[in-house]
Amino acid sequence: METKMKTVILIGALGKMGQAALSGLGKHKVITAGRSGNVDHIVDITDEQSIEALYAKVGHFDAVVNTVGVCEYAPFVEMTEAQWMTTVMSKMMGQINLVRIGQKYIADGGSFTLISGILNIKPIPFAIADATTSGAIDTFVKCVAYEMPRNTRINVVNPTVLTEAWDVYGEMMPGFEPVPGKLVGKAFERSVDGFITGEVIFVDA
């Protein structure tokens, strides 16, 4: 069986998670998007109009892979409403809006793959907003899969920290084992090229 070549919109393509996802999308035509830098399209997932414009400009596409979501980090007792809302409007509502708006544009049988993160399963200090919104996205994907239109699918990749990002995050994550981006890329590939839907694809060691 050969995998059909698909047009995939990859959001956050230049980031470490985006590069990890890209490693699993080698068979496809990848259209890159992000907030800045050398990408095919600039998009801000916290802005509905920006999302709508991205989909309209791309035209036909079979898959959306999102690897971004801004989170604020602080101890719970110090975290402000503004810090909570930055996280909620990006990692949670930004991703939900990518699907809510994108379901109107995506090809029949297409797929969405979102990103959460292992801290909802393995909590650490400073990460309560990240964990809470990851829990929201994991739940959203499991529940919304039943009502996606036109045979479209949806999954979320929930990875632990990347080997490529261990120098940045390692110190705040004692006892965690990083995983290589290439393995996380496989998770994105399994979502885009498989038939699964409503799944939280954990990549942990």
Site residues for a copy of itself per CB under 8 A:
48, 75-77, 79, 81, 84-85, 88, 92-93, 96-97, 100, 103-104, 119-120, 123, 125, 127-128, 131-136, 138-140, 142-144, 146-149
Which tokens belong to 126?
A: 């400073």
Coil vs helix vs strand at 186: helix
Neighbour count for residue 130 (Cβ, 10 Å):
23
Q: Give least dist CB 138 to a copy of itself, A.
A: 7
The span from the CA of 91 to the CA of 103, in Å, is 18
Q: Give least dist CB 146 to a copy of itself, A.
A: 6
- Name which of 133 and 163 has its Cβ closer to a copy of itself: 133
Torsion of CA 26, 30, 33, 37, to 10 degrees: 60
Coil vs helix vs strand at 165: helix
Coil vs helix vs strand at 201: strand
Beta bridge partners of 74: 127
- Name which of 113 and 120 has its Cβ closer to a copy of itself: 120
- Name which of 84 and 202 has its Cβ closer to a copy of itself: 84
- Name which of 120 and 155 has its Cβ closer to a copy of itself: 120
Element (H, E) at 65: strand 63-66
The span from the CA of 87 to the CA of 56, in Å, is 26
Q: Give least dist CB 189 to a copy of itself, A.
A: 26
Q: Give least dist CB 165 to a copy of itself, A.
A: 21
Instruction: Describe the strand order of the beta sheet including 111-115 as a list of residue ranges.
Output: 41-42, 29-34, 7-11, 63-66, 111-115, 153-159, 199-203
162, 33 in Cβ contact below 8 A?
no
- Name which of 117 and 185 has its Cβ closer to a copy of itself: 117
- Name which of 65 and 128 has its Cβ closer to a copy of itself: 128
Q: Give least dist CB 48 to a copy of itself, A.
A: 6
Q: Give least dist CB 24 to a copy of itself, A.
A: 26
